[in-house]
């Protein structure tokens, strides 16, 4: 095994996905706490002066208590009792994602850059619409999923009922690794389930003040657990063994095929079951592996282009997110890149696949919330922030040596549209700069045409909260107050130059150019679109959907 391949084998790169308010950011914080990256969890619940989590650094996130932007955290972790990991710890690359449906495009990009996902489910609410949508994306990408039933310290549903819902609704078979002792709202500990489906240990948790610190654990044999917990232990063993008898036991091949999912019950707020999640990811989640190139790019290449990169090939990476405003002192822009193959060294000369231009990676960082550290070397699976790499956009490939280009990240079909303009004409220069940077990040899609001009472009978004983020960031980061106005459109289609003139003559239709050069036609409603398609089959009208 080469040094690069050995380094890749230590990496575990995963995203946390869930419906809003399922506890994603709280879990992210708890995982960092158990890796000893922070002294105490940022979310100290139940206190008036509660802190915000490290991963939620934007003002709107702190005010609303939700994740708006994805956040990448990296830390080392060694499972207890793992002598090899104590000498050479695992490197965890954890990406906390927005849960709100309005920011599903950001979550989709993250899922293109990770090797596994933690699906967080609220014990009281079970599967919710956003969870179902994100699961389908994971399934389509072949991402293995670890399922965590969170908030078991609060009243909720029966554990077997939750398992049955997962099987019925999404066809994913949970395989319990840690089953709860005590019903929802009376979380005493976890019954550990062995590889053959037998319950072999009881892990009892002790509470800490506000859940701000790692919860001490007491470990008991099954006989000692029965004496201590009596009926609660008997019930846990009976339920776990019932599932095992029905075939719900862990199989690594089925897990990696996204057919089964290791199941853990936890309380991120109290730090119960958190290190069990980390241990499971280290033991079972796949390490970085080879990635195929974009077939269209390979076919169109004028010279030889790699059709695949193994982890120990020459360096290549994929940009999955661009973020400005993380450091107000410098007003810089960070391009978050997932290293796909080879060794990344700060200052190395790389090529931007989309433009063919070469540039130096002089400023490269690892990012922990808003905290930054210069990174000298990174390996497959690592997330690196490239500073002021203005030419890079989500989905772009950079590489050294032989050419490679990975599949692009498609944009979602927008459903909400508003114009945006600066409240003061004297702020127009700052407005243009802010618009350019936030458009590059993908906060919204920006549409322009000659009739509306540059001063009042159209924002296109998956959900209306994206407009609020756009305005808030313009004001807070660029000191530009803005005004938005609704426009009478609700459906978008991709079109071509030959159709634009004819479409613009139709009532209730307007054509625009998106920043990436795509021609977009907006329609008042789906009935108007259906009428145009029926009456003018010569027009090119294609859906804007993610692959």
Q: What is the pLDDT of residues 86-124, one digit of tens each?
A: 899 999 998 877 654 545 667 778 888 899 999 999 999
Number of compact structural domains in the chain: 3
Domain boundary among 371, 399, 427: 399
Bigger pLDDT: 436 or 388?
436
Q: Residue 12, SS3?
A: strand
When pLDDT is averaged across residues 223-232 and rounded to a whole number, the result is: 94
User: Order of strands across the sheet with 371-374?
Assistant: 358-360, 349-352, 397-399, 316-324, 333-341, 383-387, 364-368, 371-374
Task: Classify residue 222: in a domain, yes or no.
Answer: yes
pLDDT above 70: percentage of residues in the chain:
88
Give the tens place of pLDDT for each residue, 457-479.
999 988 888 888 889 888 888 89
pLDDT at 67 exceeding the cut of 70: no
On whether residue 148 sits in a domain, the answer given is yes
Same domain (yes/no): 71, 211: yes
Name, of 203-207, 293-297, 408-412, 426-430, the range with top average pLDDT: 203-207
Question: Does residue 35 contact residue 76 with C-beta atoms inside 8 Å?
Answer: yes
Residues 6+ away with beta carbon under 8 Å from 275: 34, 79, 80, 214
Residue 7 counted as domain residue: yes
**What's the sign of the alpha-carbon dihedral 393, 394, 395, 396?**
positive
pLDDT surpassing 80 at residue 59: no
Q: Is residue 439 part of a domain?
A: yes
- What is the pLDDT of the chain when averaged over all its residues? 87
Band of the pLDDT at 45, cuts 50, 70, 90? very low
Domain co-membership, 125 together with 7? yes
Same domain, 214 and 311: no
Domain annotation covers residue 430: yes
Q: Is the pLDDT of residue 159 over 80?
A: yes
pTM of this prediction?
0.81
Domain boundary among 284, 313, 338: 284
Higher pLDDT, 360 or 36: 360
Tell whether 157 and 65 lie within a shared domain. Answer: yes
At 352 the pLDDT is 94
155 a known binding residue? no
The whole-number pLDDT of residue 334 equals 82
Check residue 201 and give its pLDDT: 97
Assess contact for 467 and 418: CB atoms under 8 A.
yes
Residues in the chain: 547
Structural domain including 108 reads: 3-284
With respect to residue 464, please indicate whether it lies within any of the assigned structural domains: yes
Same structural domain for residues 274 and 378? no
Is residue 23 annotated as involved in ligand binding?
A: no
At residue 405's C-alpha, the angle toward residues 404 and 408, to 5°, is 170
Quote the pLDDT of residue 52: 45
Would the annotation count 189 as a binding residue? no
pLDDT of residue 411: 66
Could you tell me if residue 407 is inside a domain?
Answer: no
Tell me what the mean pLDDT of segment 399-424 comes to. Answer: 89
Range of lowest pLDDT (22-31, 408-417, 426-435):
408-417
- The reply, when asked if residue 46 is annotated as ligand binding, is no
User: If we measure between CA atoms, which residue out of 75, 64, 85 comes closest to residue 30?
Assistant: 75
Residues 267 and 307 in one domain: no
Report if residue 405 sits inside a domain.
no
Higher pLDDT, 280 or 64: 280
Residues 35 and 61 in one domain: yes
Residues 42, 183, single domain; the answer is yes
**pLDDT tens, 5-30?**
999 999 999 998 888 788 888 898 89
pLDDT at 260: 96
Q: Are residues 270 and 357 in the same domain?
A: no
Q: Is 96 annotated as a binding residue?
A: yes
* pLDDT value for 444: 86
| 390 shares a domain with 366 | yes
Claim to verify: residue 142 and residue 204 sit in the same structural domain: yes
Percent of the chain with pLDDT over 90: 59
If asked whether residues 173 and 233 sit together in one domain, one would say yes
Identify the three-state secondary structure at position 467.
Answer: helix
d(CA 490, CA 414): 8
């Amino acid at each position: 095994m080469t040094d690069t391949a050995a380094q890749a084998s230590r990496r575990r790169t995963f995203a946390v996905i869930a419906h809003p308010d399922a506890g994603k950011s709280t879990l992210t914080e708890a995982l960092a706490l158990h890796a000893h990256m922070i002294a105490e969890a940022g979310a100290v619940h139940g206190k008036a002066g509660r802190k915000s989590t490290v991963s939620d650094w934007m003002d709107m996130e702190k005010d609303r208590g939700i994740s708006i932007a994805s956040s990448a955290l990296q830390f080392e972790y060694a499972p207890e009792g793992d002598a090899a990991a104590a000498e050479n710890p695992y490197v965890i690359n954890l990406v906390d994602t927005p849960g709100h449906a309005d920011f599903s495009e950001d979550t989709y990009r993250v899922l293109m850059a990770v090797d596994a996902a933690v699906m967080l489910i609220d014990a009281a609410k079970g599967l919710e619409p956003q969870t179902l949508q994100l699961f389908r994306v994971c399934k389509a990408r072949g991402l293995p999923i670890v399922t965590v039933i969170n908030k078991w310290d609060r009243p909720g549903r029966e554990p077997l009922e939750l398992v049955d819902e997962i099987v019925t609704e999404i066809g994913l078979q949970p395989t319990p690794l840690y089953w709860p002792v005590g019903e929802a709202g009376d979380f005493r500990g976890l019954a550990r389930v062995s590889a053959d489906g037998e319950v072999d240990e009881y892990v009892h948790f002790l509470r800490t003040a506000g859940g701000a610190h790692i919860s001490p654990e007491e470990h008991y044999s099954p006989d000692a657990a029965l004496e201590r917990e009596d009926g609660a232990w008997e019930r846990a063993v009976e339920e776990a063994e019932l599932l095992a008898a029905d075939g719900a036991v862990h199989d690594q091949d089925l897990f990696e095929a996204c057919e089964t999912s290791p199941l853990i019950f936890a309380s991120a707020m109290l730090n119960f079951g958190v290190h069990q999640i980390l241990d499971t990811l280290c033991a079972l989640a796949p390490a970085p592996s080879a990635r195929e190139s974009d077939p269209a790019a390979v076919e169109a290449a004028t010279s030889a282009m790699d059709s695949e990169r193994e982890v120990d090939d020459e360096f290549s990476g994929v940009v999955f997110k661009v973020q400005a405003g993380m450091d107000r002192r410098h007003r810089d822009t960070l391009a978050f890149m997932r290293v796909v193959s080879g060794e990344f060294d700060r200052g190395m000369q790389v090529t931007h696949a989309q433009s063919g231009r070469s540039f130096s990676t002089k400023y490269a960082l690892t990012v922990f919330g808003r905290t930054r550290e210069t990174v000298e070397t990174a390996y497959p699976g690592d997330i690196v922030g490239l500073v002021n790499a203005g030419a890079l956009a989500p989905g772009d490939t950079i590489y050294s040596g032989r050419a490679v280009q990975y599949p692009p990240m498609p944009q979602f079909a927008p459903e909400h549209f508003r114009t945006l303009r600066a409240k003061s004409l004297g702020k127009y220069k700052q407005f243009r700069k802010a618009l350019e940077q936030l458009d590059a990040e993908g906060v919204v899609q920006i549409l322009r045409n000659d009739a509306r001009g540059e001063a009042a472009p159209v924002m296109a978004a998956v959900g209306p909260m994206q407009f609020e983020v756009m305005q808030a960031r313009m004001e807070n980061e660029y000191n530009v107050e803005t005004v938005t106005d609704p426009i009478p459109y609700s459906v978008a289609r991709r079109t071509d130059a030959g159709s634009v003139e004819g479409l613009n003559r139709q009532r209730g239709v307007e054509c625009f150019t998106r920043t990436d050069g795509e021609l977009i036609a907006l329609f008042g409603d789906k009935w108007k679109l259906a009428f145009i398609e029926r009456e003018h089959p010569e027009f090119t009208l294609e859906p804007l959907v993610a692959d």
